[in-house]
Amino acid sequence: MAQHLSPRSPGRLLRAALWGIVLLVPGVALAATVKGQVKGHNELINPVWEESARPDTNRYTWREPSPTVRSDYRRLFGLAPKELCIAGVSKNKVEPPKVPILVLVGGGRTTPVTLVVAPGTRLRFRNNDPFKHRLYAVNEASFSPADIAMAAERDWTAPGPGTYELRDELAPSLRSWIVVKEGVASIGYPNRQGQFFLTLEPGEYQLEYFFAGKPIGTPRPVSVGGQDLDITREPIQVALPKDKNASGDAEKK
Amino acid sequence: MLLSRFWYLILALALGLFASGLYLAQTVYNRASRDSMEQALSADTQVVKWYLNDDARRRSSLLLKVCLDETIRKELHKASSKDEKVPQDVRDRTRAALRKLVDEMPAEYQFSSLFAIDQLGRVIGQVGFDQAAGIENFDMGGYAIVADALHGWVRDDAWVFDDRIYLVVARPVEVDTAQMPAGAVVGLRIVDTSYAKQLSKRSGATVGFFAGGTVKAKASPDGVSSTQLDTIVADIKNLAQDDTYKEKGTSKPKILMDDIGVIYSKIPGEAWDLGAGYVVGRSASVVKNPFDLLQLADAKEKKSQPWWIIALIVVLGAGLGLVFSLFEHTRPLRILKAEAERLAKGEIDMLQVSKFRGLYRKIASDLNDGTDKVAAKGGVPRKAADLESVLGPIPAQPEMSAFSFPVDGASPSTSGPLRVPPLRESAPKMPVQMPAPKPSPDSKPQMPAPKPDSPKMPAPKPADAMTPNLAPSEDDDDATVVSAVPPEILEASATGAHAAVEEAGEIAEWHNTFEEFLRTKKQCGEPTSGLTFEKFQVTLRKNREQLIAKTKCKRVKFTVYVKDGRAALKASPVR
């Protein structure tokens, strides 16, 4: 079974890479598109930004709210198109894609920030900044700190299932998570309104949601047939409003 | 001698104390200088911190104009409404507006780079960051400060790109208060030498910015060299072991190269975790050796010294030294010289030991002993020594051997009877005063023989009366030996006529002594009225008897001398 990425992911290079994966994987012609909707994603607080806002982290000399911006917006929720990863997970074993998944490094983060992949998936990190980066995986010897020059790339394959946190020695705000999980067939990212698309071959899947390397919400089972599937009528609650604990069971009512 | 030696000791101690004081002053001065330097360093650190904070606020205020610019707001709103590619014209208009706004900013607070960023974190337009000009989809939305601005916060930050430090401020760009900010503007100011100079000029501190283990920019106020910060490069790597620096972001004052003090501080922001910071430095005015202290004083300070006190100390010190030297060296030498001259002239036949002190007394005593021995071997006979020269200083009345006589108006207590102190057993034997026989040219010095043509001894003058020793005693080596006694003397002695002759001679001698005593008293300014020879001889006789009884001598010779400014008599036993 092939792994597919949502075409809604921003960035032309990234989209081209994703389409390349789709075209190169056999059997994609039989795949169907699952169209979905998440809600509550603006309640997911980015842990890096939140931590940076604390005075004890010494990240600023002063920080003040703009009085004309509503307090709802002053909460440091993450940017879902880069940070909320939706994965279609099969019960069957999934072969990793034959081409590496491109991860752009730049702007104080990676794109995407959270990435869920099947074991053995090769990742390719490309420096999109005009200065070097020095990525490494926390407590993981297979991805030790090494410089990536401007426009240079560095490949890495996670050694096995688990969650890997990536950091940059030269950019403290850069923190990414690679979730390696058996059966990941396809991943996608919602747009700012919460809509997402997944391309899946016919079969039984669980839709799982990951934010900052952690699973959030309640997985939703979907059965993909030969045709596209629209599940937007039943939006997926990934976080409750004002819920500081985003990893809680959002759909529990 | 004792005073001089003490004076030398005092001078040596004073010199030692002076040297010790100088060394102590050097230590205290250096410590005070370093303390002062550390306080100044702490103040400088605080000033630089305040300056950075104030500078960030000023720059964020400048961003207000950018955030309120209609073109910026409009174009950012357009860009944020599209998840797809941002139209190029939007980028161009945004960039043009930014350029115009940057140019209008005051030069002192101009940004190195200015960015306009939409809600997705995409850089829609920028000026001054040319290295990113060719990058498609250049994104800055991951930085915490940008995220803060996109969520309605105003704050500052510090970034380090390729070991270059950037001071960053960001503000939200708002179009509709009911919506999220349309984007954010971010201003960067690179920390370079011009910025360091500006900071140093405003704060008065010598400051350097470091990142990646090297100093990126440094500056110092006019008149102060910033090269002192060159030494910190080797020390920066040690900051990793500085717990205070790691925990509080500011190191304790550190002394480098003896006289340069520094305090390291982290720059708040992402630079905090990237080993970037600033260092303030000052040089302490330390002295290498005590004499450098003298060179620290300027002409005014030197002029304000209490020179009169210093001169007084010098004069007093030198004066005391000279006085002690005169008193203990020059004066005894002169006395010795005078006495020696008198001895040479024959005015005295021995040195008066009591006139000397210390070593000179010993010298005088030895000379006397030597003279005696020479005389005993045939030298010129000597006059009788007085008691004081033999026994040492004679105590004042009534213990003194010298005595005075009652005069009209004088206190009775001053005219007490003469008390002769007992002779010390160790005292040298008194040489007997004898008429000096003229030695013949061929006579032996030890035993002058009488002249052959004058077998009879001429009758002695009363003043030269003596009790002859017919034969030298065994225990009196110094006694003059007479070869024969004239028969007249022997006859007179046998018949008692000799006693009368001796008494008459003694009376005549006392007359002379009385005359000399009166003369001496007048010279001393003492009254002489009422002092008659009768009283005088009664006193002499009384004291003669006492002295003869005590010393078993044959007769007593009285001589006049001056003691403590008064005329006095000495009684010398003659054996």
| A156 within 8 A of A193, measured Cβ to Cβ | no
* Token pair of B521 as six digits: 């008293």
Q: Provide the number of structural domains found in chain A.
A: 1
ipTM above 0.95, yes or no: no
Interface test with B, best of A13, A58, A175 (most B CBs within 10 A): A58
Considering the domain boundaries, does residue A248 fall inside one? no
Spell out the SS3 assignment of B203-222: HCCEEEEEECCEEEEEECCC
Residue of B45, B68, B120, B148 to mutate, interface with A, max A Cβ within 10 Å: B148
Collect all residues of chain B within an 8 Å Cβ-Cβ radius of residue A13. Answer: 136-137
Minimum distance, in Å, between the CA of residue B137 and any CA atom of chain A: 7
CB contact under 8 A, B270 and A173: yes
B249 contacts B231 by C-beta, under 8 angstroms: no
CATH number at residue A66: 2.60.40.420
Of B481, B27, B557, B54, nearest to B292 (Cα)? B27
Cα–Cα distances in Å, from B281 out to A41, B37, B179, B204, B230?
51, 9, 49, 11, 10
- Parent domain of A149: 37-243
- Inspect the interface and report whether the beta carbons of B151 and A58 lie closer than 8 Å: no
In a domain, A111, yes or no: yes
- The answer to whether the CB of B198 falls within 8 A of the CB of B108 is yes
**Cα separation values, B299 from A215, B287, B291, B439, B450, Å:** 80, 18, 16, 82, 89
SS (H, E, C) B141-152: CCCHHHHHHHCC
**A18 domain residue, yes or no:** no
The answer to whether residue A188 is domain-embedded is yes
Domains of chain B, with CATH numbers?
Answer: 68-190 (3.30.450.20), 201-283 (3.30.450), 307-378 (no CATH), 387-574 (no CATH)
Supply the DSSP string of B144-211, one letter for each residue: HHHHHHHTTEEEEEEEEETTEEEEEEEEEE-S-TTS--SEEEEEEEE--HHHHHHHHHHH--EEEEEE
Q: Give the whole-angstrom CA distance, residue B256 versus residue B231.
A: 7
Nearest-Cα distance to chain A for B37, in Å, is 26
Q: Residue A203 domain-assigned?
A: yes
Residues of B in contact with A68 (CB under 8 A): 174, 177
To the nearest whole angstrom, how far is the Cα of B228 from the nearest Cα of chain A? 28
Question: What distance in Å separates the CA atoms of residue A81 and residue B84, rounded to the nearest whole number?
Answer: 12
Sign of CA dihedral B438, B442, B448, B454: negative
Give A-chain residues touching B49 at CB under 8 angstroms: 61
Q: How far apart are CA B38 and CA B281, in angstroms?
A: 9
Nearest CB to A68; choose among B53, B56, B177: B177
B30 CA: distance to closest CA in chain A (Å): 36
In a domain, A16, yes or no: no
Helix (H, G, I), strand (E, B) or coil at B265: strand
Chain B positions in Cβ-Cβ contact with residue A104 (cut-off 8 Å):
137, 139
> Is residue A6 in a domain?
no
Please give the residue of chain B at the shortest CA–CA distance from A62: B155
What is the token pair recorded at B76? 């950012």
Does B64 lie at the interface with A, CB-CB under 8 angstroms?
no
What is the pLDDT tens value at each position of chain B, 575 positions in all? 677 788 888 889 999 999 898 899 889 998 898 889 889 999 999 999 999 999 999 999 999 999 999 999 999 999 998 888 889 999 999 999 999 999 999 888 889 999 999 999 999 999 999 988 888 889 999 999 999 999 999 999 999 998 899 999 999 999 988 889 999 999 999 999 999 999 988 888 889 999 988 888 988 887 777 776 777 777 888 888 888 898 889 999 888 876 788 899 999 999 999 989 999 988 888 888 888 888 888 888 888 989 999 999 999 988 988 888 888 888 888 888 888 898 888 888 888 888 888 888 888 888 888 888 887 877 655 555 555 554 555 544 443 444 545 444 444 433 333 443 444 444 344 443 444 444 444 444 444 444 444 444 444 444 343 333 333 344 444 434 444 444 544 554 555 555 666 777 888 888 889 988 888 888 888 888 888 888 888 888 888 888 888 888 888 888 888 888 888 888 888 87
CB contact under 8 Å between B151 and A12, yes or no, is no
Least CB–CB distance from A69: residue in B132, B161, B172: B172
Residue B63 near chain A (CB below 8 Å): no
**Strands (DSSP E) along B340-425, which ranges?**
none
In this complex, which of B142, B151, B274 lies closest to A76 when CB atoms are compared?
B151
Beta-bridge mates of residue B250: B265
Q: Which of B9, B1, B110, B122 is nearest to B65 (CA)?
A: B110
Pick among A12, A66, A195, A197 to test the B interface (most B CBs inside 10 A)? A66
Nearest to B396 by CA among B565, B529, B545, B527: B565
Is any Cβ of chain A less than 8 angstroms from the Cβ of B54? no
Do B153 and A66 make contact, defined as CB atoms within 8 angstroms?
yes
Whether A252 maps to a domain, the answer reads no
* Record: contact A63-B141, CB cut-off 8 A: no
Within B452-486, residue ranges assigned H as helices are none
- C-alpha A207/C-alpha A184 separation (Å) is 10
